[in-house]
Structure formats: C-alpha cells, structure tokens
C-alpha cells in the first residue's frame, strides 16, 4: 500500500535525513566537505536531474520528486495530494490500471510512493539494465494519467480505510494529529497529510485531475537516480523520456503564514485502548528555510545532546538516574519548506504517574536553559552524529531521499554537500541561542495519552 507519513512520522524522517548527511567530519578537515559527490544537470524543459554513483551492486534507484505536497492543497480538499499519489498507479493512455506495478515486478523491481506536506515522490529500484523501463513508465504517467469516477471512488475508499486503520483506530496517532492541528494556528501544516475524513469523502476525479495538471510537470520535478550508473548513462535516457515532455506554468507555492503564538496549549486523550500512558511535547521551531534559520544546525546538535540515545541528557536523567521513564526521545528535522518542530516524547515506568515524568522533562529543560551545555557535550554530539552515519553512502536509497527532500524544499545540492562543514562549525553559544529561541512555553503543545478511567 502507498504510505503517507503521519505528522510525527514526518519529523522522524528527519532522523534519517540527519544521519544520512552526517558523514565523518574527518573528511572535511582539510578541504570542503563532499558527502555524496553527485553529478547534476538540467533538461531543456527545466527538470533538474541528480545522479549519485554507487557501484556496490548492479542496481539503481530511480525517483521522481514533485515540488508539491499536502500543504499546497486547495482549502477544503485535504487529502487530495495523497489520493492523487494513489491514483498515479491507476493507469494512463498506454498502461491499464495496476499495469505499471505489474511490469516493474515482472522485471524484478520494487516500486512505491509517498506523500508529505512539501513533496510527493515515486520510486523504483531495479536492475541497472531495467532503468530505461522504469523511466519510460514514470515519464508516461507524468503526462498521460487517465482517471474515471469509478476508479477514484474505489481508491478513495482505500484511503478512507487507511485513515481508519492508521489514525482513527490508533490513540497515539489521534493524539499526534490533534497536537499538530493545535501547534499551527494558521499554517496548513495543521491539516493532516492523509486529510480529514469528511473532506476525503468529497474528493473526485475533477479535484484529482485539477491538482495533477496544476503541479505535475517536469519543470516542477526533480529526477534522482542512484546506483551503478553515471550521468553519462542517465542523460540520454532522461532527455529521451522526460525531456520530450513540455514544461507548463506552475503556480507559486503561496501558503498562509503563522502569527505570533502567545499561549501554551495542552491536549489530553483518554482511551480504553491505551495500555501505556505517554507524554508528548512539541515546540514550534525553525527549518533551514524559515526565519531564524540560523538555529537549524545548532538544533540538530541540541537534538543529539538531549535525546540522542542512552548517553543523552534526558535518558540519563529520567531513565537511569531518577527511574521515572521507561523511554524518552527527542526529534528534530529542519528539512521543511516552512516551519518545523522540536519534539520530546516519553513513557513512564509502571507505577509512575505521567505527571512526574512531565515534571522531570520540564526540569531538565529548565536546567539546560539555566546552566547551558558545555564544549565537551557539543563536541561529543558532533562525533556521535558522524559515527552514526559512517556507512550512509553504502545505502542505495539514502542519497536520493536526502537530495529529494532538500531540492523540493528550497535547498540546493551545495547545501547538502556542505552539511558536515556547517555542523562542524556549530558552537556552544549557538546551541544555547537555539535552545532559548525554541523552548518557549507560548509556542508549545503538551499532549497526554491516558487510559480511560473505568467506573
């Protein structure tokens, strides 16, 4: 089934992004850092192409990323981007419904797609000699999608069932969805990627095709190919299949902006399905592209200091020393087109009140803001980031996902390649400035997941 990340999953995607970029800083000591060292070019119709050579196996990952996601939907049509992602597998003028997937599988490949707030991506992993086949099919559905009301109605029910199973039947997902809706007062990030059920029910072939014709064009897409190929291999195929598709005007991605936030918010969800209470805290935070973007790299370091495994501050304090929590984690991803968030989650040990865990987390944040971090903590965090990603380049799928997220959210190949240098330059003072900017109660939401009391 095509997958759509929930709000919290989007932020967890940032961990993979962070790890993928954190190639050993030792490589950058004497010269500018080079992470994946891609080859790039642009087709005459404006489609950007990135090729990352990885010759460890005779296979390739072929991805097309569109610079459009759920946050670009028309008001009242939530879920349209995600539904269209599903519908892209339903046939074209030359391929019948499901035939794309059947032919990829017949040729030994795997394929899927995913939708986020800022992008939609389609990918196939195939043997290198099947790259042309994958490219031919993907280019076909970029311009020749065919939809009927019957096809849309059937797939709409699939999406509604997906929402039911992944959100409505999962208390933790319902809590995250509500917290996301409360965190953003005005920005479309408050609306779930999968959509609100009552709006999904109103989507149809007309709304899907309008979205398709508005955004799905080569000059609004990025082609990324990683594996046992070079740009010399990819360019003639890209020009043959994608280069033949005419460019079309694309609307500006105009989104509502977030007003100043002045009040902390609190969400409590009680459910008989909950067996283990949970605490979630989320703070509005900058991204690489937003105002205050100078805090993005320091926040990545702070994320590692506070929640980066068993050596982190929160784990040592709440799990090891105080024995309050069974687990505690943080998550921060700056790879959004607009704003981001810094998230903290924790589960109490059996018999421990969730209020004590919350108090413990807040005490650690207060201690951070009062006493600060030290040089050793910052240096150790940087080393851990690098060590965690030492094998990042071995993965066939890591690089295309890193570049796809970056290039669809306003960043460049050079930004990706410069990541080690920029992380290496983060100072104690910058980490503390970022902490003070983000850990503000008036721009936060606290969520409690509790068992429903029995009477």
Q: How confident is the model at residue 421 (pLDDT cuts 50, 70, 90)?
A: confident
| Residue 413 host element (H or E) | helix 413-417
Residues designated as active site: 85
Asked if 40 contacts 162 with a C-beta cutoff of 8 angstroms, the reply is: no
For residue range 315-324, what is the model confidence (pLDDT) as tens digits? 999 999 999 9
When mean pLDDT is compared across 169-173, 255-259, 331-335, 393-397, the lowest value belongs to 393-397
Higher pLDDT, 439 or 13: 439
In the chain, the percentage of residues whose pLDDT exceeds 70 is: 91
Task: Inform me whether the pLDDT recorded for 23 exceeds 60.
Answer: no
β strands within 291-354, DSSP E: 325-332, 340-348
Name the pLDDT band for 392 (thresholds 50, 70, 90).
low
Query: pLDDT tier at 386 (50, 70, 90 boundaries)?
Result: confident
On the 0-12 / 13-18 / 19+ scale of CB atoms within 10 A, 254 is exposed
Structural contact between residues 266 and 178, judged by C-beta atoms closer than 8 angstroms? no
Half-sphere exposure of 230 (CA within 13 A, CB side): 1
- Given a cut of 60, whether residue 25 has pLDDT beyond it is no
DSSP single-letter state for residue 13: H
CA neighbor of 153 nearest in space, from 86, 211, 100, 69: 86
Q: Kindly state the average pLDDT of the residues 363-385.
A: 95
Rounded Cα distance between 27 and 172, Å, is 41
Cβ-in-10-Å burial (0-12, 13-18, 19+) of 37 comes to exposed
Query: 325-331 long-range CB contacts below 8 Å, 24 or more apart?
Result: 325/349, 325/352, 325/357, 325/360, 326/350, 328/361, 330/303, 330/306, 331/8, 331/11, 331/12, 331/14, 331/15, 331/303, 331/307
Please give the domain boundaries of the chain with CATH numbers for all domains.
Answer: 7-241 (3.30.830.10), 265-399+410-451 (3.30.830.10)
Query: Residue 395, class by beta-carbon neighbours within 10 Å (0-12 exposed, 13-18 middle, 19+ buried)?
Result: middle
Which pTM was predicted?
0.92
Q: What would the two tokens of residue 132 be?
A: 């042309």
pLDDT by residue (tens digit) across 120-169?
999 999 999 999 999 999 999 999 999 999 999 999 999 999 999 999 99
Q: Is the pLDDT of residue 430 over 90?
A: yes
CA distance readout (Å), 84 to 208, 216, 242 = 6, 10, 20
pLDDT digits (tens, 9 = 90+) for 78-93: 999 999 999 999 999 9
3-class state of residue 110 by DSSP: strand
pLDDT tops 70 at residue 4: no
């Amino acid at each position: 089934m095509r997958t759509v990340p929930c709000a919290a999953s989007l932020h967890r995607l940032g961990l993979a992004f962070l790890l993928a970029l954190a190639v050993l800083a030792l490589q950058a000591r004497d010269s500018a850092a080079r992470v994946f060292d891609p080859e790039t070019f642009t087709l005459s119709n404006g489609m950007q192409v990135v090729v990352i050579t990885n010759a460890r196996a005779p296979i390739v990952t072929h991805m097309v990323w569109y610079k459009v996601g759920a946050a670009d939907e028309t008001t009242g049509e939530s879920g349209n981007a995600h539904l269209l992602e599903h519908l892209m597998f339903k046939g074209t003028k030359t391929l019948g419904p499901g035939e794309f997937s059947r032919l990829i599988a017949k040729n030994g490949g795997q394929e899927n797609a995913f939708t986020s707030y800022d992008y939609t991506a389609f990918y196939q992993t195939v043997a290198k000699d099947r790259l042309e086949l994958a490219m031919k099919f993907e280019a076909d559905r970029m311009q020749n999608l065919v939809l009927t009301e019957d096809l849309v109605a059937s797939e709409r029910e699939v999406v509604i069932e997906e929402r039911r199973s992944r959100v409505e039947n999962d208390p933790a997902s319902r809590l995250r969805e509500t917290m996301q809706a409360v965190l953003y007062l005005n920005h479309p990030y408050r609306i779930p990627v999968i959509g609100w059920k009552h709006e999904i029910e109103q989507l149809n072939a007309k709304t899907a095709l309008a979205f398709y014709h508005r955004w799905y064009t080569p000059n609004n897409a990025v082609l990324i190919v990683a594996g046992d190929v070079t740009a010399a291999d990819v360019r003639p195929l890209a020009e043959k299949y994608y280069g033949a598709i005419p460019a079309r005007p694309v609307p500006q991605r105009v989104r509502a902006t977030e007003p100043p936030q002045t009040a902390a918010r609190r969400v409590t969800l009680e459910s008989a399905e909950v067996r283990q209470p949970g605490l979630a805290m989320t703070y509005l935070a900058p991204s690489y592209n937003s105002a205050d973007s100078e805090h993005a790299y320091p926040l990545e370091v702070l994320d590692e200091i506070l929640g980066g495994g068993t050596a982190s501050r929160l784990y040592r304090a709440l799990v090891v020393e105080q024995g309050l929590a069974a687990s505690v984690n943080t998550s921060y991803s700056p790879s959004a087109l607009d704003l981001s968030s810094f998230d903290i989650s924790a589960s109490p040990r059996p018999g421990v009140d969730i209020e004590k865990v919350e108090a413990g987390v807040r005490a650690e944040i207060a201690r951070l803001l009062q006493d600060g971090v030290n040089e050793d903590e910052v240096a150790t965090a940087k080393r851990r980031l690098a060590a965690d990603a030492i094998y990042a380049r071995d993965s066939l799928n890591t690089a295309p996902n890193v570049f796809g997220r970056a290039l669809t959210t306003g960043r460049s190949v050079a930004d990706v390649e410069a990541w080690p240098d920029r992380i290496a330059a983060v100072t104690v003072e910058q980490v503390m400035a970022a902490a003070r900017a983000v850990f503000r109660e008036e721009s936060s939401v606290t969520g409690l997941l509790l068992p429903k009391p029995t009477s």
